[in-house]
Amino acid sequence: MATIEFWFDFGSPTTYLAHTQLPRIARETGATLVWRPMLLGGVFKATGNASPVTVPAKGRWMHQDLQRWARRWDVPFAFNPHFPINTLTLMRGATGLQMRQPQAVPGYLDAVFHAMWVRPRDLGDPAVLAEVLAGAGLDPAAFQALVADPEVKAALVAATEEAVARGVFGAPTVFVGDAMFFGQDRLDFVREAALSAG
C-alpha cells in the first residue's frame, strides 16, 4: 500500500486546496495519507525561498489562479485579508495534537483550514484562535499548554529540518515514496504515483 506524505503549513492557500483533495485521492488509490506539519517560514529561511506574494505581479496572478482551482474542485475559498498570519502556534498545535491527542487532529485541521481560507479570521489573534479551538471541541487553555511544551516545539523544529533535508522548499509538498511533488496543481501526478506504488 502506498503512503502519501503531505507536508503542510496552514498559512499556504494552495495547501488548503490540496487538503480538500488529498483525502479523496488516498481513498481512491488505497493509499495511506500521512499529515506532516512543518513551519513554512523555517523552510523559506533555510532554502532562500519566499512567498509568491512578495512578487507583486505573481501575487496578482496567484489570487486569480486560486479562484480557478477552487472552482475546478467546487470547494469554497476566500483569501484571508489578514494574510500573512504567523502560523508558529498553529503548526505547533498540529504537531502537539499528533503527539498527544491524535484523535483530535482531523477536527483541528478542518477547523483551522476553514478559519484560514473559507471564512477567514485572524488566527494570529489569541482570542479569535480560542473561539475556533472551542468550536472544534478543543480546550483553549490546554492547547496553549500543549504548544508551549518543549517537546512539541522541538518536534516541529525537527520536522521542518527533515523537510528541508528531503528537498522541500515550499508548501504544499507531497511525497509518494521518494518521489516529491510540489503544489496543488501536481495532484494528478500524486494519484499516478500512489497507484503505481500500490
Other CB atoms within 10 Å distance of the CB of residue 158: 12
**What's the rounded Cα separation, in Å, for the pair 50 and 8?**
15
* Burial group, residue 81, by CB count within 10 angstroms (0-12, 13-18, 19+): exposed
Check residue 10 and report its DSSP letter.
T
Q: Pick the catalytic residue: 4, 12, 163, 193?
A: 12
Query: Do the Cβ atoms of 116 and 11 come closer than 8 Å?
Result: yes
Residues in CB range of 182: below 8 A, 6 or more apart: 169, 170, 172, 173, 174
Asked about 12 being catalytic, the answer comes back as: yes
Residues β-bridged to residue 139: none
Catalytic site residues? 12
